Amino acid sequence: MMNQNMANREVCDLIFVDYATKKPFLNLDFANVSTTELTGESVFAHGGKGHPKRVQFAGERGGTLTIETQIQTVKLWQLITGGEISKSAKFVTRMEAVLDNAGTEITLPDEPVAGSIAVYAAGDDCGTELPCTAAGKTVTLATALTGGDKVIVYYMKEVTDKVQRINIKSTSFPKNFTVYGDTVMKTENDELLPYRLVAYKAAPQGSMSLSFSNNGDPGTVTITCDLMADGDDNILDLVLIEE
């Protein structure tokens, strides 16, 4: 039964378990491609005329687990980067506003971070800054313009509700994981056999490319994990289950 010819045309669903704590970290069941590659190095002892290879030595066993996905989550970014998740964020925002009838005041939708406001005339975006003061959400120009005129306002906004921020430092590194994969193999007899893989100690590489485009296919994120040996020299299990 197990010597049947078979093939695969289905991605693996993957469960990432924290290697240190043994707790599930991420259920990655939205990948499009999952590829496992085993690697090794061979060196040879040579001898005789023509310097032929006489004895082969194998070592440096390892490999990679590569995942491609168009679906992304904050938890996935954390897995790749090793960054910490926090519940607040600050970023600069831009808005067009209309001055009051006196030509001096505008009201912002948020209270800006102190000292972060820059105001420009509508026709001079990022040009000559208009001096102003701020109190709460109200911005007051030092010199009045015409009432009803438009101005451009830049300010730092702080969000503390319904936000997840990944903070990536120069000292941030991904954790190690044990990865459990689940897919199926199809035999020449049209049977579907469950197939599992276990990567005992997988270390995500810290490289990540996030692509944002207004045309073509949705952006793809590629995660590459280096496969290492655990404390018992295990690297990878390939499991085919007969039903």
Q: What is the pTM of this model?
A: 0.86
Q: Is the pLDDT of residue 208 over 90?
A: no
Average of per-residue pLDDT across 40-52: 95
Distances, alpha carbon 68 to alpha carbons 120, 140, 208, 228, in Å: 44, 51, 11, 20
> Is the pLDDT reported for residue 187 higher than 80?
yes
Q: How confident is the model at residue 4 (pLDDT cuts 50, 70, 90)?
A: confident
**How high is the mean pLDDT of the chain?**
94
Tell me, what's the pLDDT at 2?
59
Gap between the Cα atoms of 50 and 59, Å rounded: 25
User: Which of 1-10, 11-20, 230-239 is least confident?
Assistant: 1-10
pLDDT tens by residue, 111-151: 999 999 999 999 999 999 999 999 999 999 999 999 999 99
Position 210 scores a pLDDT of 87
Residue % of the chain over a pLDDT of 70:
99
| pLDDT bracket for residue 1 (50, 70, 90) | low
Q: For 96-122, what is the mean pLDDT?
A: 94
Inter-CA distances, 161 with 87, 89, 158, 164, 183, Å: 7, 9, 9, 9, 39
Instruction: Say if residues 203 and 225 touch (Cβ distance below 8 Å).
Output: yes
Tally of CA atoms within 13 A in the half-sphere of 163 that contains its CB? 14
What's residue 62's pLDDT? 93
Question: DSSP assignment, residue 231?
Answer: T
Contact residues for 81 (Cβ-Cβ < 8 A; gap 6+): 166, 168, 172, 174, 206, 208
Q: Are 9 and 186 in contact (CB under 8 A)?
A: yes
Say yes or no to pLDDT of 67 above 70.
yes
Q: What is the C-alpha separation between 113 and 117, in angstroms, rounded?
A: 8
Asked if pLDDT for residue 70 goes beyond 90, the answer is yes
Structure confidence at residue 3 (pLDDT): 74
